[in-house]
Structures are given as C-alpha cells and as structure tokens.
Amino acid sequence: MSQFAPNRLREPLSAHVEWLPEPWKPALADVLASPGFAALDAYIAERLEAGAVIYPSHPFRALELTAPYQVRAVILGQDPYHGPGQAQGLSFSVPTCERRPPSLRNIFAEIAASLGGDAAQFDNDLTRWGKQGVLLLNAMLTVEDGQAASHAKRGWEAFTDSVISAVAADDAPKVFLLWGAHAQSKQALIPRGSPHLVLSSNHPSPLSATRPPVPFIGCGHFRRANEWLVEQGLPPIDWVGTLVASARG
C-alpha cells in the first residue's frame, strides 16, 4: 500500500531545490552549496534508486508556504510522520481526513482551552497557519516508510538550522514556539538581544504534555503569541481557522 502513497517522494532532492521559492535561495545559498547538503542529496537519490519509500512528496513545503519576509511565528518539529498519507512537509500537520496524531490532538486542545472553539472540529491540515506566516519546520525533512528518524544525521539538521538562523537574524519580530528538549536546543540559533519572543514548554506528546517542568497543556502559548504580536503592531494569527466542515465544503 505504501508503494502507492500519495505523499511519496518521487523526484531527487536536487529537483526540489530548483523549485524552492526565490526569496529563500539567497538566505540558504551557503548550506545548499555545502558538501554536507551534496551528501544528503546523493543519499536520498541512492535510497530512491534502491526503491525506498520516502515521505513527504514535497520536503520543502513549509518554505513554499511561508516566505522568509512573511514569518511571524516558528513552530519546530523533529521528524516527519512515517506512515503513508500522513506527512505533508509541515510540522505536526496531516491531511484533513487522516487520523489525528496524539500531539496534534493536544495542540488543538490547548488552542480550544485558550482561545475557544471545538477542538474536534479543527482541521488537521495546518496549511492555513503556513499561509499566515507560521513556519512549520521539522528538523529532518524526509523519512522512510515505517522508520522513524531514518534520515537523521544525514545532513538535514545543518540545512534546517540554517533556515532557523536566517529567520532569527531578521529583525522583524517573530514568536518562536519551542516545545520539548529538541526544539529548545535550537534557541542557541536565536541571537541574544534579538527582538523575538521565545515561548518554551514540554512537547505536546501525551508522554510529556502534562508533566513538569513546564506542561504543554495550560501553557497559554497561542494566546500569548497573539497578544505579543499585537503589541508589536502585527496582526494576530487565527489559530482556530478553517473548521473541518468548512474545509470539506
């Protein structure tokens, strides 16, 4: 079944680099020209040639949705979902009709508790956030079917660190939502004294969402992010957005 998954990667990574939106290319020129990225490109080409099923079909979708000058918030994930039909190239997001992953369930529960709405009716597809300037970035941008973290330490981390650094170096105010130890380790890429807001908590996974030191459930990050954006003279983010019924027409 996974051989026919609609979100399977089919083209080499080099093709997707060519399709990167122009505003990102100058910011990422150094990492794209690096030996590490060339090795990553070669590795993915080798795995595709060997018949590996790799997700998602558009690894750079987060960058395609959100240009660097549009970024108002950054949500960092770690690894794409590794089941057929799940990964979209956006952290925590799955297509509307896919079963809702546990972490996304907790994210929606926190939004509903803080901002209102019926979490059961929120659309699993977070494309609407990307279009509003929320960069939904994973640390690794590809994964093999059924093998979590299978493309870890292959070169993606250097690339996505460069994305974070480029976004953080821009003085336009942004909110960085860092959930869990892995995401919080990226705070070192945000310059001290920058105008950005950093909000940290445990990961929304059920394994940690209600535990100390800073439970995700009850963190109030979505309300606080919007309040801070308004204080900076920027529009708030519609975190609730399209409901499932509306998304399906």
Whole-number Å distance between alpha carbons of 17 and 30: 13
What is the rounded distance in angstroms from the CA atom of residue 46 to the CA atom of residue 207?
35
In whole angstroms, give the CA distance from residue 136 to residue 169: 18
Instruction: Determine the straight-line distance between the first and last CA of the chain, rounded to whole angstroms.
Output: 28
Active site members: 79
Distance, CA of 177 to CA of 22 (rounded, Å): 26
Q: Which amino acid is at 217?
A: I
Secondary structure (3-state) at 54: strand
The helix or strand, by DSSP H or E, that contains position 71, with its residue range, turns out to be none
Token pair of 94 as six digits? 């799955």
Secondary element (H or E) of residue 92: none
Strands 54-55 and 143-144: antiparallel
Rounded to 5°, angle at Cα 45 from 56 and 24: 60
Determine the 3-state secondary structure of 74 from DSSP: strand
Q: Is 30 exposed, middle or buried (0-12, 13-18, 19+ CB in 10 A)?
A: exposed
